[in-house]
Amino acid sequence: MAPRRDAPEAASVPESAFGNGPGVGRLTRRPQFLAVAGARRKWAAPGLILQARAHDERQHPRPDEPSVRVGFTASKKVGGAVERNRARRRLRAAVAEVLAPHAAAGYDFVLVARGETVRRPWPDLKNDLATALKRLKAWRDGVAMSAATAPPAADGRPDTVSAPLADTEADPATGGDRP
Protein backbone atom coordinates (compact mmCIF):
# COMPACT_ATOMS: atom_id res chain seq x y z
CA MET A 1 0.00 0.00 0.00
CA ALA A 2 1.29 3.46 -0.88
CA PRO A 3 2.11 5.87 1.95
CA ARG A 4 -0.67 8.30 2.78
CA ARG A 5 -0.15 11.89 1.81
CA ASP A 6 -1.03 14.25 4.60
CA ALA A 7 -3.64 16.87 3.90
CA PRO A 8 -2.88 20.52 4.61
CA GLU A 9 -3.10 21.29 8.32
CA ALA A 10 -5.82 23.93 8.06
CA ALA A 11 -8.92 22.74 6.28
CA SER A 12 -9.81 26.18 5.02
CA VAL A 13 -10.18 27.85 1.68
CA PRO A 14 -7.82 30.79 1.25
CA GLU A 15 -9.28 34.25 0.89
CA SER A 16 -8.24 34.48 -2.75
CA ALA A 17 -10.18 31.32 -3.66
CA PHE A 18 -13.49 32.99 -2.88
CA GLY A 19 -12.57 36.39 -4.24
CA ASN A 20 -13.52 39.15 -1.87
CA GLY A 21 -14.52 38.73 1.72
CA PRO A 22 -13.13 36.62 4.52
CA GLY A 23 -11.84 33.13 4.06
CA VAL A 24 -14.25 30.27 4.56
CA GLY A 25 -13.19 27.16 6.47
CA ARG A 26 -14.42 23.64 5.88
CA LEU A 27 -16.28 21.21 8.11
CA THR A 28 -14.54 17.88 7.66
CA ARG A 29 -15.54 15.58 10.50
CA ARG A 30 -18.82 13.79 11.10
CA PRO A 31 -19.36 15.26 14.60
CA GLN A 32 -19.15 18.75 13.11
CA PHE A 33 -21.87 17.92 10.58
CA LEU A 34 -24.02 16.31 13.29
CA ALA A 35 -23.67 19.36 15.54
CA VAL A 36 -24.93 21.63 12.75
CA ALA A 37 -27.84 19.28 12.03
CA GLY A 38 -28.60 19.04 15.76
CA ALA A 39 -29.09 22.82 15.98
CA ARG A 40 -32.30 22.31 13.97
CA ARG A 41 -31.92 25.59 12.09
CA LYS A 42 -32.43 24.96 8.41
CA TRP A 43 -34.08 26.36 5.34
CA ALA A 44 -35.12 24.18 2.43
CA ALA A 45 -35.19 25.71 -1.04
CA PRO A 46 -35.77 23.96 -4.36
CA GLY A 47 -32.05 23.82 -5.14
CA LEU A 48 -30.52 23.18 -1.72
CA ILE A 49 -30.99 22.84 2.01
CA LEU A 50 -28.96 25.17 4.22
CA GLN A 51 -28.36 24.22 7.85
CA ALA A 52 -26.79 26.72 10.26
CA ARG A 53 -25.34 26.67 13.76
CA ALA A 54 -23.84 29.54 15.72
CA HIS A 55 -20.49 28.87 17.36
CA ASP A 56 -20.42 28.27 21.09
CA GLU A 57 -17.87 27.16 23.67
CA ARG A 58 -18.42 23.50 22.75
CA GLN A 59 -17.78 23.76 19.03
CA HIS A 60 -15.95 26.60 17.36
CA PRO A 61 -13.03 27.04 14.97
CA ARG A 62 -9.47 27.31 16.20
CA PRO A 63 -8.15 30.87 16.51
CA ASP A 64 -6.13 30.49 13.28
CA GLU A 65 -9.18 29.32 11.27
CA PRO A 66 -11.82 31.47 9.57
CA SER A 67 -14.91 32.26 11.64
CA VAL A 68 -17.26 30.87 8.97
CA ARG A 69 -17.07 27.17 8.14
CA VAL A 70 -18.97 25.24 5.49
CA GLY A 71 -19.61 21.56 4.81
CA PHE A 72 -21.15 19.98 1.72
CA THR A 73 -23.11 16.78 1.39
CA ALA A 74 -24.90 15.03 -1.44
CA SER A 75 -26.59 11.68 -0.87
CA LYS A 76 -27.42 9.04 -3.45
CA LYS A 77 -30.89 10.58 -3.72
CA VAL A 78 -29.23 13.27 -5.84
CA GLY A 79 -28.10 10.70 -8.41
CA GLY A 80 -25.03 8.76 -9.38
CA ALA A 81 -21.46 9.79 -8.64
CA VAL A 82 -21.30 12.21 -11.57
CA GLU A 83 -24.44 14.06 -10.49
CA ARG A 84 -23.37 14.15 -6.83
CA ASN A 85 -19.96 15.57 -7.75
CA ARG A 86 -21.54 18.14 -10.06
CA ALA A 87 -23.98 19.14 -7.33
CA ARG A 88 -21.14 19.64 -4.83
CA ARG A 89 -19.15 21.67 -7.38
CA ARG A 90 -22.17 23.91 -7.99
CA LEU A 91 -22.71 24.36 -4.25
CA ARG A 92 -19.04 25.25 -3.74
CA ALA A 93 -19.26 27.84 -6.51
CA ALA A 94 -22.45 29.29 -5.02
CA VAL A 95 -20.72 29.53 -1.64
CA ALA A 96 -17.84 31.39 -3.27
CA GLU A 97 -20.17 33.93 -4.85
CA VAL A 98 -22.90 34.32 -2.22
CA LEU A 99 -22.04 32.88 1.19
CA ALA A 100 -18.38 33.98 1.42
CA PRO A 101 -19.09 37.71 1.07
CA HIS A 102 -22.47 37.71 2.84
CA ALA A 103 -22.39 35.15 5.68
CA ALA A 104 -22.36 36.52 9.20
CA ALA A 105 -19.25 35.59 11.15
CA GLY A 106 -19.50 32.97 13.87
CA TYR A 107 -21.54 30.32 12.04
CA ASP A 108 -21.06 26.81 10.72
CA PHE A 109 -23.11 25.94 7.63
CA VAL A 110 -23.93 22.66 5.91
CA LEU A 111 -25.25 22.74 2.36
CA VAL A 112 -27.22 19.66 1.40
CA ALA A 113 -27.64 18.98 -2.31
CA ARG A 114 -31.09 18.10 -3.58
CA GLY A 115 -32.21 16.45 -6.80
CA GLU A 116 -32.77 19.87 -8.36
CA THR A 117 -29.29 21.17 -7.48
CA VAL A 118 -27.82 19.87 -10.73
CA ARG A 119 -30.71 21.03 -12.95
CA ARG A 120 -31.59 24.33 -11.28
CA PRO A 121 -30.65 27.42 -13.32
CA TRP A 122 -27.51 29.05 -11.93
CA PRO A 123 -29.07 32.41 -10.96
CA ASP A 124 -31.91 30.59 -9.18
CA LEU A 125 -29.48 28.40 -7.24
CA LYS A 126 -27.57 31.47 -6.05
CA ASN A 127 -30.82 33.17 -5.09
CA ASP A 128 -31.86 30.03 -3.16
CA LEU A 129 -28.67 30.33 -1.10
CA ALA A 130 -29.12 34.07 -0.55
CA THR A 131 -32.74 33.58 0.54
CA ALA A 132 -31.75 30.77 2.91
CA LEU A 133 -29.07 32.95 4.53
CA LYS A 134 -31.59 35.74 5.03
CA ARG A 135 -34.25 33.41 6.44
CA LEU A 136 -31.77 31.96 8.92
CA LYS A 137 -30.76 35.49 9.96
CA ALA A 138 -27.15 34.81 8.98
CA TRP A 139 -26.99 37.39 6.17
CA ARG A 140 -24.80 40.43 6.35
CA ASP A 141 -24.59 43.05 3.67
CA GLY A 142 -21.41 42.94 1.63
CA VAL A 143 -18.75 45.34 2.76
CA ALA A 144 -17.46 47.94 0.36
CA MET A 145 -14.43 46.61 -1.47
CA SER A 146 -11.32 48.49 -2.39
CA ALA A 147 -10.72 49.09 -6.09
CA ALA A 148 -7.71 46.78 -5.94
CA THR A 149 -9.73 43.76 -4.74
CA ALA A 150 -13.02 44.37 -6.53
CA PRO A 151 -13.85 42.31 -9.60
CA PRO A 152 -13.99 44.27 -12.85
CA ALA A 153 -17.42 45.48 -13.92
CA ALA A 154 -18.95 44.55 -17.27
CA ASP A 155 -17.30 47.59 -18.87
CA GLY A 156 -13.85 46.52 -17.61
CA ARG A 157 -13.54 49.14 -14.85
CA PRO A 158 -13.24 48.00 -11.22
CA ASP A 159 -16.50 48.09 -9.33
CA THR A 160 -16.30 49.29 -5.72
CA VAL A 161 -19.58 47.80 -4.49
CA SER A 162 -20.80 44.26 -4.60
CA ALA A 163 -22.96 43.63 -7.63
CA PRO A 164 -26.44 42.13 -7.34
CA LEU A 165 -26.94 38.56 -8.46
CA ALA A 166 -27.19 38.70 -12.25
CA ASP A 167 -29.61 36.62 -14.27
CA THR A 168 -27.18 35.75 -17.05
CA GLU A 169 -24.00 34.29 -15.63
CA ALA A 170 -21.97 31.29 -16.61
CA ASP A 171 -22.60 28.11 -14.64
CA PRO A 172 -19.26 27.10 -13.10
CA ALA A 173 -20.09 23.40 -13.13
CA THR A 174 -20.67 23.25 -16.87
CA GLY A 175 -18.73 26.28 -18.05
CA GLY A 176 -21.67 27.55 -20.08
CA ASP A 177 -24.72 29.68 -19.63
CA ARG A 178 -27.74 28.03 -18.08
CA PRO A 179 -31.15 29.06 -19.43
pLDDT in tens, the chain (179 residues): 454 444 434 344 444 344 434 578 888 889 989 999 998 999 999 999 999 998 877 776 676 777 789 999 999 999 999 999 999 999 999 999 998 888 888 889 999 999 999 999 999 999 999 999 999 988 888 654 333 334 444 444 444 344 445 555 666 666 665 44
pLDDT at position 141 is 81
Kindly list the domain boundaries of the chain, sorted by start residue.
21-135
**Bridge partner list, 51:** 42, 110
Question: CA–CA separation, 42 vs 22, rounded Å?
Answer: 23
Q: Which fold has domain 21-135?
A: Ribosomal Protein S5; domain 2 (3.30.230)
Q: What is the pTM of this model?
A: 0.68
pLDDT score, position 95: 92
Contacts of 35 (CB under 8 A, 6+ apart): 53, 58, 59, 108
Distinct helix (H) and strand (E) counts, the chain? 4, 6
